[in-house]
Amino acid sequence: MFVLSLQTFIGYKYMRPKYYGDLKRSPGTYIKDTDKLFVQQPNSTNVSRKLVHSNNSGPVRHIGFLKVHKAASTTSQAIFLRFGWRRNLNFVLPPQRNAFKYPNIISLNESVTPYNTLPPPAGQHFDILCHHVLYGRDQWASVMPKDFVVVGTVREPFSHFKSILNYFQPVIIKILEAKDDNPVRTFLESPKKYDSKKPQRSLLNNRLAIEYGVDPDIIAKRNNARFKDYLYNVLDKQFAVVIPAERFDEGIILMKRRLRWSLNDIMYVQKNVRNVTRPDRFPVMEDLNSLHREYFKFDYMIYHFFVEKFNREVYMEGLNFPREVEYFKKTRHAVQLFCHGKGKSIKQLKIPSSEFNEEFTITKDDCTIMLKGEIAFTQMIRLRQYGSVDLENVKRKA
């Protein structure tokens, strides 16, 4: 059996760490939203650290991941699926037959309920929740152990909007397209005229905020005071890590440190990356940004809040943080090439020990797991967890 080392595979040597933005700000950082300036809570970084229980030196195994549509969520979820699969952990799953016609979706418009999730296997408990469902601490706590840790992702809202628009192709935009040369502009100029009156039923009304569990009434009534109370006193205090999609590898390293995981635990290969050579069905002009900011103001507030918090958290990790990020990128690139077939006669990729990891090996079986699609992986878990992929809607106790 041929074994390839990381050094042989990519000729690795350390790179100088990059400088990570303007991290010399004071703890209370002002961020502009569409209405006014509001102050970021200066103690929020310490809150994130305290969310991960320090009385256990092993890796965190009880995790709730908020799978936000089109925000690096499939790649993130693959990491959690592989982590749990390797340890034979139990996942919160929807019934095979459900309202959304997909076996990997719990809900697109509500949080966890007794009827949209299966009960855990007899005599056992759940460990990981990482399939699509809206956030709600109490609802998630109804199926998760008391010490579960919450992780999420965010994405720059205008980019997020473009991706959702061209991936899901919402019906209202298609209807407008039939009679309008610029359906996106028409929608953004009068969104209340065309959008659903129920924000949780829409993909085009502050979808990031909806998935983070913001009360739809807050969005419908544009209630800034209630929103900021939820942002500061709920989301900030309950999420241990929120990863900006644009800085994904940095976020994964921060998560690794928070959850006390190994470098092997966070390995991934890219999936669901949109084909940029294919033209958008619904192009979005940059001059629509101001209209978008007005309607999606809650998404912008969540995004900027957590990006600023992320900047402070990265700064507090110290000078070896960018070195670990660069090392991870090099190592992950080697794994990506190996899993996509470079050196087909090579059966294993050996990752040597470093200041950031113990030695480990990636095999072709590992590649198969990392390359497995979300639905196929979900069904594989369902079969192992329940003994069948064709379960009826078994309701758990409320």
Across the range 352-368, mean pLDDT stands at 96
**64 φ/ψ angles, rounded to the nearest 5 degrees:** -110, 115
How many Cα atoms are found within 13 Å in the side-chain-facing hemisphere of 238? Answer: 19
- Structure tokens given for 147: 């010490």
Please check the confidence at residue 10 and state whether its pLDDT lies above 60. Answer: no
**So what's the pLDDT on residue 53?**
56
- Structure tokens given for 359: 């030695």
More confident residue, 55 or 247: 247
**So what's the pLDDT on residue 346?**
82
**So what's the pLDDT on residue 390?**
72
Beta strands in the chain (DSSP E): 2-5, 30-32, 37-39, 63-66, 128-129, 149-154, 239-244, 346-351, 360-363
Please check the confidence at residue 82 and state whether its pLDDT lies above 90. Answer: yes
Could you tell me the pLDDT band of residue 278, with boundaries at 50, 70 and 90? confident
The per-residue pLDDT for range 42-76, each reduced to its tens digit, is 455 555 666 665 556 799 999 999 999 999 999 99
Please check the confidence at residue 344 and state whether its pLDDT lies above 90. Answer: no
Highest mean pLDDT (candidates 6-10, 154-158, 269-273) = 154-158
Please check the confidence at residue 384 and state whether its pLDDT lies above 70. Answer: yes
Please check the confidence at residue 333 and state whether its pLDDT lies above 80. Answer: yes
Contacts of 11 (CB under 8 A, 6+ apart): none
Could you tell me the pLDDT band of residue 5, with boundaries at 50, 70 and 90? low
Across the range 76-85, mean pLDDT stands at 98
* CA-based nearest residue to 262, from 364, 159, 122, 356: 356
How many Cα atoms are found within 13 Å in the side-chain-facing hemisphere of 343? Answer: 21
Residue 58: Cβ within 10 Å count: 6
DSSP β-bridge partners for residue 241: 151
The per-residue pLDDT for range 183-230, each reduced to its tens digit, is 999 999 999 999 999 999 999 999 999 999 999 999 999 999 999 999
How many Cα atoms are found within 13 Å in the side-chain-facing hemisphere of 315? Answer: 15
Instruction: Give CA–CA dist 230/228, Å, rounded.
Output: 5
Q: Are strands 149-154 and 128-129 parallel, antiparallel or unpaired?
A: unpaired
**9 φ/ψ angles, rounded to the nearest 5 degrees:** -70, -40
**So what's the pLDDT on residue 284?**
94
Instruction: Give CA–CA dist 231/208, Å, rounded.
Output: 13
Q: What is the SS3 assignment for 141?
A: helix
For the whole model, what pTM was predicted?
A: 0.86
Please check the confidence at residue 16 and state whether its pLDDT lies above 60. Answer: no
Could you tell me the pLDDT band of residue 389, with boundaries at 50, 70 and 90? confident
* CA-based nearest residue to 384, from 124, 117, 145: 124
Across the range 376-393, mean pLDDT stands at 86
Across the range 90-110, mean pLDDT stands at 92
* CA-based nearest residue to 155, from 194, 209, 195, 112: 209
At 171, the amino acid letter reads V
**So what's the pLDDT on residue 274?**
56
More confident residue, 150 or 20: 150
For the chain, give the mean pLDDT.
Answer: 87
**Residue 20 burial (CB < 10 Å; 0-12/13-18/19+)?**
middle
**DSSP codes joined into one string, 286-353:** GGGHHHHHHHTHHHHHHHHHHHHHHHHHHHHT-THHHHHHHHHHHHHHHHHHHHTTSSTTEEEEEE--
Element (H, E) at 8: helix 6-10
Asked if residue 53 lies in contact with residue 145, where contact means CB atoms within 8 angstroms, the answer is no
- Give me the residue label for tokens 């990506």: 336
**So what's the pLDDT on residue 90?**
98
Instruction: Give CA–CA dist 109/111, Å, rounded.
Output: 7
More confident residue, 177 or 25: 177
Task: List the single range of 132-146, 175-189, 272-286 with lowest mean pLDDT.
Answer: 272-286
**So what's the pLDDT on residue 388?**
85
**So what's the pLDDT on residue 23?**
38
At 351, the amino acid letter reads I
Please check the confidence at residue 105 and state whether its pLDDT lies above 70. Answer: yes
Compute CA 266 distance to the chain's CA centroid, rounded to the nearest angstrom.
13
**So what's the pLDDT on residue 18?**
39
